[in-house]
């Protein structure tokens, strides 16, 4: 870490967001401060319940200037993009234009081939639920996991077809339907399926079917445009344990520019999307039920204990009973963690603006995030009588 960053982080241990700390900070504020104390440069939290909306922040949004984290600033949402894409796919299923049992080859003939991969055996449902066994292309577009590698390769662009071709260099993790393994390739393919079905890009369909109807005016599908709109906090990645923090606010286009993780939004828009989704405003009941039909996520995959994976939507248990739905997203220097109760009455989104180089630190920060979300949603249920009977099937 640079001397400047170390000095700023030390000063943050006694200050919340640049403003005077309240004499008796709320539980939500204390939980945000705990993330700051665990090394996150900037933290923002938005909690929406029947009693109103609360926002807190901690740390700084810019290590160079010390500016506070922007209130409801723009953030990269990474793999949270997958829930938007899955929603479009399920709408097409509801319209009878696509079936969850269709194979990849039905819509993209011959594309998924090589090293044991076979699109004639992989279904749309398996793509949505990461049970396809298809290899992840991500390792192929990060040839140098370092600050220098980020700077050298961040402008490189790939087509969806090129990303899939990179993945096809590797054998599948397992036969289709025989296991579970997170693979970004699945959603690159789903973006291509949407185009094959509608003759329009997945971005167009997300905008027309979700963003405009819900008036999510601050949610963007930027493609290969690498810059965040203002206001935004800056993102920082530590590429090696004990190393310097690198400003990674500019997108890493090799994996920040497709249907698996390219979108930009705000916490308010993300909460509004998941709230509408869980309240049945976007999908018909049959398609929402399919989305919430889950499989177990194996232990040791970086997800909280008890997480189950639906179709572009994850279920995580709460300590007070029931659980929440959401889909986190991350990339170089950022993490977004949205969580919404099954009835859509309470929602919280946590945004982190730095990521550590040590696995133990990253794990601890995720534990901090999940503890914050658990306390926030359980507290909302107690204070507002928010009932969550949405258990996975």
Let me know how long the chain is: 393
**How would you list the strands of the sheet with 245-247, edge to edge?**
245-247, 236-238, 354-355
Q: Judge whether 86 and 312 are in contact, CB under 8 Å.
A: yes
Each residue's pLDDT tens digit in the chain (393 positions)? 333 333 333 333 333 444 445 557 899 999 999 999 999 999 999 999 999 999 999 999 999 999 999 989 999 999 999 999 999 999 999 999 999 999 999 999 999 999 999 999 999 999 999 999 999 999 999 999 999 999 999 999 999 999 999 999 999 999 999 999 999 999 999 999 999 999 999 999 999 999 999 999 999 999 999 999 999 999 999 999 999 999 999 999 999 999 999 999 999 999 999 999 999 999 999 999 999 999 999 988 889 999 999 999 999 999 999 999 999 999 999 999 999 999 999 999 999 999 999 999 999 999 999 999 999 999 998 876 544 444 555
Going from the C-alpha of 335 to that of each of 175, 189, 252, the distances in angstroms are 31, 23, 14
CATH node for 3-10+24-384: 3.40.710.10
Q: For the chain, give every domain's residue range.
A: 3-10+24-384
Question: In this structure, how many other beta carbons lie within 10 angstroms of the beta carbon of residue 276?
Answer: 19
Rounded distance, CA 10 to CA 13, Å?
Answer: 6
Residue 313: strand, helix, or coil: coil
Q: Judge whether 151 and 226 are in contact, CB under 8 Å.
A: no
Angle, CA of 257, 114 and 189, to the nearest 5°: 30
Residues marked as catalytic:
79
Pairing of strands 245-247, 75-76: unpaired
* pTM for this predicted structure: 0.92
Residue 265: strand, helix, or coil: strand
């Amino acid at each position: 870490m640079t001397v400047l960053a170390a000095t700023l982080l030390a000063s943050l241990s006694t200050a919340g967001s640049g403003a005077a700390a309240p004499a008796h900070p709320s539980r939500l504020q204390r939980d945000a401060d705990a993330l700051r104390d665990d090394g996150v440069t900037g933290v923002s939290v938005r909690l929406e319940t029947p009693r109103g909306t609360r926002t807190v922040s901690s740390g700084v949004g810019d290590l160079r200037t010390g500016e506070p984290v922007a209130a409801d600033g723009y953030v990269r949402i990474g793999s949270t993009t997958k829930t938007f894409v899955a929603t479009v796919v399920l709408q097409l299923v509801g319209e009878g234009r696509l079936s969850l049992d269709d194979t990849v080859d039905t819509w993209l003939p011959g594309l998924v081939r090589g090293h044991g991969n076979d699109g004639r055996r992989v279904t749309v449902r398996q793509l949505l639920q990461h049970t396809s066994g298809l290899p992840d292309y991500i390792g192929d577009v990060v040839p140098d996991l370092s600050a220098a590698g980020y700077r050298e390769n961040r402008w490189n662009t790939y087509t969806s077809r090129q990303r899939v071709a990179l993945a096809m260099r590797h054998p599948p993790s397992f036969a289709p339907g025989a296991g579970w393994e997170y693979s970004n390739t699945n959603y690159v393919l789903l973006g291509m399926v949407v185009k094959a079905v509608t003759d329009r890009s997945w971005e167009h369909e997300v905008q027309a079917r979700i963003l405009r109807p819900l008036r999510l005016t601050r949610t963007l599908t930027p493609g290969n445009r690498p810059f965040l709109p203002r206001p935004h906090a800056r993102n920082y990645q530590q590429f090696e344990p004990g190393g310097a923090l690198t400003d990674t606010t500019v997108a890493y286009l090799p994996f920040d520019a497709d249907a698996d993780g390219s979108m930009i939004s705000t916490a308010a828009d993300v909460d509004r999307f998941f709230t509408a989704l869980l309240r049945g405003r976007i999908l018909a009941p049959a398609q929402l039920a399919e989305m919430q039909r889950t499989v177990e996520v194996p232990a040791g995959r970086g997800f909280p204990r008890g997480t189950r994976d639906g179709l572009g939507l994850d279920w995580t248990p709460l300590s007070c009973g029931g659980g929440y739905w959401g889909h986190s997203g991350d990339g170089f220097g950022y993490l977004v963690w949205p969580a919404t109760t099954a009835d859509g009455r309470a929602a919280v989104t946590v945004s982190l603006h730095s990521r550590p180089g040590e696995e133990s630190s990253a794990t601890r920060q995720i534990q901090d995030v999940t503890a914050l979300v658990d306390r926030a949603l359980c507290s909302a249920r107690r204070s507002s009588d928010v009932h969550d009977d949405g258990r996975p099937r």
